[in-house]
């Protein structure tokens, strides 16, 4: 009787351990969740009916930055903070790099109303802008021109003024929204997240060139980019 009871308890303990191990294995890390959220944001902004990011704009982009749930708050003087991912296009291979982790911080002056969460996509339209974007002293609006990106059918007839901007911004607000201002904001490498995800330090140069390290979550991200923003010949 006692032997049977101990066997049952042992079996139950092993089963519980197996369940906990499976749950832990299936749980996403913070970095993996950031990749998943960023992919969902990009999918939404590209596929939005009549308001999506035009294909020909995506074809021209040299880098894509996605910041899911950029938090902005305040009245008149706004503050913003968000974390996301960035990938760079290799024009020789027409492939997107593995994700690099970034953070957007800064303040802006303008009519900011209430607290809001904004999904943000930045398209960097030239190679010089990719390197500049990661400069520690780089400020959006001051060191590079930022314009609201054309959308949908309007994008097909977009003006040279909007397309001459170094960075095109696309956003989707959740809750009260009174315009998005990126003046004075800066993008920097999220070194801790990069090290946690790749188990190695990532340099600014490697980010700017495009990270080539392979991970399961990173491969899913690049597959999403290949599907949503393929080179012209692939369409």
Q: pLDDT tens-digit profile of 38-48?
A: 999 999 999 98
**Mean pLDDT within 54-74:** 84
pLDDT of residue 181: 64
* pLDDT confidence band for 144 (50 / 70 / 90): low
For the chain, which residues make up each domain, given as ranges?
Answer: 28-234
**Mean pLDDT within 5-30:** 48
**Mean pLDDT within 58-82:** 76
| SS3 letters across the chain | CHHHHHHHHHHHHHHHHHHHHHHHHHCCCHHHHHHHHHHHHHHHHHHCCCCCCCHHHHHHCCEEEEEEEEEEECCCEEEEEEEEEEEEEECCCCEECECEEEEEEEEEECCCCCCEEEEEEEEECCHHHHHHHCCCCCCECCCECEEECCCHHHHHHCCHHHHCCCEEEEEEEECCCCCCCCCCCEEEECHHHHHHHHCCCCCHHHHHHCECCCCHHHHHHHHHHHHHCCCHHHC
**Mean pLDDT within 82-100:** 93
Tell if the pTM clears 0.75, that is, is over it.
yes
* pLDDT confidence band for 211 (50 / 70 / 90): very high
């Amino acid at each position: 009787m006692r032997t049977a009871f101990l066997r049952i308890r042992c079996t139950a303990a092993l089963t519980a351990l197996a369940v906990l191990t499976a749950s832990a294995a299936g749980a996403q890390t913070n970095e993996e969740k950031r990749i998943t959220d960023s992919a969902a944001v990009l999918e939404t902004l590209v596929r939005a009916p009549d308001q999506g990011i035009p294909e020909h704009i995506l074809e021209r982009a040299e880098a894509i930055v996605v910041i899911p749930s950029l938090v902005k708050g305040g009245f008149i003087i706004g503050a913003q903070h968000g974390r996301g991912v960035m990938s760079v296009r290799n024009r020789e291979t027409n492939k997107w790099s593995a994700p690099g982790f970034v953070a957007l911080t800064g303040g802006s002056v303008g009519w900011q109303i209430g607290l809001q969460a904004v999904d943000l996509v930045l398209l960097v339209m030239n190679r010089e802008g990719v390197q500049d974007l990661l400069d520690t002293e780089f400020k959006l609006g001051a060191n590079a021109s930022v314009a609201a990106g054309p959308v949908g059918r309007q994008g097909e007839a977009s003006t040279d003024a909007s397309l001459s901007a170094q960075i095109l911004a696309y956003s989707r607000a959740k809750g009260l929204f009174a315009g998005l201002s990126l003046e004075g904001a800066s993008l920097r490498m999220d070194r801790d997240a990069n090290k946690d995800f790749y188990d190695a330090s990532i340099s600014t140069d490697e980010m700017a060139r495009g990270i080539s390290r392979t991970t399961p979550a990173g491969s899913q991200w690049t597959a999403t980019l290949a599907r949503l923003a393929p080179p012209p010949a692939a369409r």
